[in-house]
Amino acid sequence: MANPNAAIEKELGVKLPAGIKIKVVEDTASEVHLVLPEASRANKGELSDTDLNK
């Protein structure tokens, strides 16, 4: 949890693009996290073929 970017890169054997920040959160018995897509993607409607292939 100290360096999630490095952990992802090591486990998957990939280099994350510059500017990508991985954030790890842990649910508890009294706190649950809900992740929403960024607003610009949510308003686009359907994903393009390029986005789906990513």
pLDDT at res. 38: 81
pLDDT at res. 51: 81
Separation between Cα atoms, residue 47 and residue 21, nearest integer Å = 22
Separation between Cα atoms, residue 7 and residue 12, nearest integer Å = 8
Separation between Cα atoms, residue 30 and residue 32, nearest integer Å = 7
pLDDT at res. 46: 76
pLDDT at res. 44: 62
Low pLDDT (below 50) residues in the chain? none
pLDDT at res. 47: 75
pLDDT at res. 39: 76
Half-sphere exposure of 31 (CA within 13 A, CB side): 4
